[in-house]
Every structure is written in C-alpha cells, then in structure tokens.
A and B are shown apart, each in its own frame.
Chain A
Amino acid sequence: MKEPECDDVTLQDFVDGWLDAAQEGRVREHLAACARCRAEERQLRRLLARVAELPRTVAPPHDLWPGVAARLGGRRASPPAEVEAIERPRRARSWNVRRWVLQTAAAIVFTALGAALGRLIPDAGETTAAAVRPASSSAFAAAETEYLRAKDALWLVAASRRDELSPVTMEIVRRNLVLIDEAIWELRQALAADPGNPHLESLLLAQHRRGLDLLRRLSARSA
C-alpha cells in the first residue's frame, strides 16, 4: 500500500547512491517499516542486476564499414562556373515577359552572389591534416554541394534583355540572397567554434535549403 512517505524517486536515489548519510538513514528507517517499499527496492535492484549483465557490444548484422568509408574524405565545392551568355530566341507572343525578367534577375544576382559565396568556400589550398574541416558533417556537406551546384546551373541561365528588369525587384532579390548568405556565414563561424553542434548544423542546413528554394523558385519560373 503506497503511503505519502513512500517516495519512489527518493528510493531510486537511494538505490543509485545519491543520498547523503542523513537522507539514507531516513530511507532505511522507512524501509524497515514499509513492506511495499522493501519490495520496490528488491525489484529495482533485481532489474539493475539484469541490466548490468547486458552485453556492451553488439556486432552489427552486416559490415557497416563500406558505408562509412564512402562518406569520408570531405568534398570541396567547385569554383563558380563561367557565366555563359545564352541568346534565347524571342517568342512571337511575349506575354512571358515576366519569366524573362526573372531569368535576367537570376543571372545578374549571381554575379554578385558568386563573389559573396566565394567567401564561404574554404580554399582548396587548405589541405593539411589539421584543416580537415570539422565544420561539415556529411549531411550538410551534401546540402552545401547541392546549393552550389544549383547556383552553378543558374549561372548558365542568362537573359539578353537586361533592360526589361524591374530594378526594384532585382535589388530586393539580390539583397535577400545576400541576407541568406550572411546567415550562412554566421552559422559557419559559430560551427567552427563549436564543431558538430547539432543545433547549429540543423540551422545551417535550413539556411542552405532556404537559399536553394529561393534559387529554385527563380529558376523554375525562368523555364
């Protein structure tokens, strides 16, 4: 029968050895008088004894090394591709003007973006062992690579009629892409100071995704 003074958490602390002498004394007194708590204590100790016998190693069902080996070695992002001006034939009905606007905006934006991104990518020259960058885990090394690849692809989408841009909109897009870039930069600096911090990694991935989504939106409209 559980009474108010049958405090299971205290009993647990007692079994675990967290109580000081005075507290232990009180628990022992209670145990002497309470059959229920004595039974609790017995069962708890029995459980812990069984747990202590669990094997500390368990062989994985199959060899996981190949999967690990494939992910080692850290990828380096490639430098931005050269901008290729692509002349697109004008359509007879130009009601898709908006799409041209965005194509052009994307192309111009990435001239600026490429410069900004250059800061984010470690120099290929840093190859000493100490500089095997702890900053990227494989998951977001992949995300970063995807982001840069998408950006590369967008470099190739260049419109010919830059004069049809809405300068206001283009400026907004440029400013916000730089905002995302700066967020990414801040996160990478924080990660460099605290490598492997899962919160930071996930925040960084989210920003990469955001940048990528924005680029995708722009490039999809340009199709």
Chain B
Amino acid sequence: MRRCWRASAALLAVLAPLAAGAQTEVERRVPARAEGTVEIVNVAGSLVVSGWDREEVEVTGTLGRGIDALVVRAVRGEVKVEAEPGRSGHQGSAHLEVRVPHRSRVAVETVSAEVLVAGLEGELDVESISGPVEVEGDPSAVAVETVSGDVTVRRARGRVAVETVNGRITIEGGRDLRAQSVSGAIVVDGAGEVERAEFGVVSGRILFAAALARGAEARLSSHSGAIEVAVPGASAARFEVSSFSGRITNELGPPAEKAGRFTPEHKLVFGSGDARVHVETFSGSVTLRKR
C-alpha cells in the first residue's frame, strides 16, 4: 500500500473523482522535505494543520458535497493540498487534518474554513476571509490576514503579523508583534517579553498588557478606537502619548497637558526605563494603567 502511494504520488496529482452528493473519507500521503513548503487551500469547512516528525505530508478528513476532488501533489519539495469545489458552486466544504514535517513552511488559503495550526516550528502564513484562525505551537514567524475572521496567536517564537478588517486579534505570544485592523479589536495579553509592537486601528480598540523587554519599542495608534496600556509601572518604559481630541487618563504618573494654545490636542511624556511606548490617537481615549 505504501509503495503504491509513493510511486504514484511523487510527481503527479492524485485525483479521486467523487460521486455527487456523497460525503467522502480521504487519506493521502506524499513525501515531503523536512524544511519544504506546504500549501493548503480549503475554501470552507475546517482545517487542522499539525507538525510531526516524518518527512511526509498526510491528509485525512472528509470531503463534503460539492467538493470535486482533493488534490495532493508534491513537486520538487513543495507540497500542495487543495480541496477543489466543483462546478456546481462554491458551497462545498471539507474538514481536513493535515500533518506536515514540523519545520515546514506552511501557507494556508481559505475563505470561511476554521483554521487551527499547532506544533509547527517553521514559518506560517494564513489567508482567510471569514474563517477564524488559531495558532499554537512555536512557529518561527506568523503572518495572518483575514477580513472578518478572528485571529488568535497563542504562542510564537518570533515575529507575529496579523491584519484583519473587523476580525478580533488576540496575541498571547511572540516578540515582534504587528497587528492592524479597521474596526476589529486588538488584544495583547500575556505575551512574554515583547521587543517590538506596532498596532494600528481605526475604530477598533487596543488593549496592550505585556511585559516589555529592555530597549523595547511599542507604537500604538488609533483613530477613534480606545487604547489601553497596562504595564507593571512607570519605570517600565518611557511613554509618549498624544491625542488630538481624545481623553488621556494616566494612572501611572502625571496628567496630560495641552499641546499648544490653539489646538485641543493633549500630550504626555513621562516615565523612565529603556523601553519606549508611543501612543497616538485622533479622538480615541487613551488609558495607561498598572498591570
């Protein structure tokens, strides 16, 4: 059985035409390089990607009505896994579990599938529209883009970059954090020592409650969304806060002052320590408090 798979899967697509209307169980396996790339496309349903020790990619799961085929193909070290919706429409969904070599670089594309990624150590890239995305394990870098899907990154070793339109962004790990949303909230809580943070929202709110490494730099900006920063104390960082018309509340030190005679703008510069936190809003309120 294994021999058969290896021979046929090495170069060409393996297709299993499906009877319309049926739910089909699938199981596929192809060889993969330890640090190769795995691309997974699953438009709807769910997807669990996990890392393992084998130099193989294994796909198991069920394909729903409307999915024509599951394509699993290995080309020069790159593995592609695609659940192809049929011509009848894009309603087809698939629930897939994909196991990949844990140091693979993984790229996922979906529209509405729920995505869970665990046990990876390589780079991870996820593009979704409305499907929620959850990342665990220890990926070296994480990049996630959604429109309305919520994103949760629980652990990451290095850089985390998340962008949504109104999806909520929750980050609990990582050292170099970037998050952008228009109306979604950005919540950072419990991350280890953050070396760098750059967050931007329009009307979403930002909660940044994290420990800052020495020399850390954080920049938080919003148009009308409220920003809340919770740090151990005023000695955690040097703060520079400004808001054009939003209220600044500082529970760590002196109150904000008017920036000039002819403007409603308020500014606040205080604190000590090697880290720097820069907060800027147009009309969003800013609160600095003790963590």
Listed in ascending order, the chain A residues whose CB lies under 8 Å from chain B are: 93-95, 97-98, 101-102, 164, 166, 168-169, 172-173, 175-176, 179-180, 183, 186-187, 190, 194, 197, 199-200, 203, 206-207, 210, 213-214, 217, 221
Contact = CB atoms under 8 A, between A and B. Distances in A.
B244 A203 contact: yes
Contact of A210 (B110, B145, B182, B245): B182
Most chain B CB neighbours (cut-off 10 Å) among A93, A95, A217: A95
Interface string B98-141: 00000000000111100000000000000101100000000000
Contacts of B82: 95
Most chain B CB neighbours (cut-off 10 Å) among A164, A173, A186, A210: A210
How many residues of B sit at the interface, in one of the four size bands?
Answer: 35 or more
Contact of B165 (A173, A203, A206, A207): A173
B202 A173 contact: no
Nearest to B265: A199
Contact of A169 (B145, B147, B200): B147
B224 interface: yes
A203 B282 contact: yes
Interface in B211-233: 221, 223-224
Nearest to A164: B90
Given A169-B148, A173-B147, A183-B203, 16 more contacts: A93-B84, A95-B43, A98-B129, A101-B129, A164-B90, A168-B148, A172-B165, A176-B183, A179-B183, A180-B202, A183-B224, A199-B280, A206-B221, A207-B223, A217-B145, A217-B163
A214 B283 contact: no
23 contacts: A93-B84, A94-B85, A97-B90, A97-B111, A98-B110, A98-B111, A102-B129, A168-B148, A169-B148, A175-B183, A176-B166, A176-B202, A179-B182, A180-B182, A183-B202, A183-B223, A186-B223, A194-B262, A197-B265, A199-B242, A199-B265, A207-B202, A217-B145
A213 B85 CA distance: 29
B87 interface: yes
A166 B129 contact: yes
A154 B130 CA distance: 22
B263 A186 contact: no
Nearest to A218: B147
A97 B244 contact: no
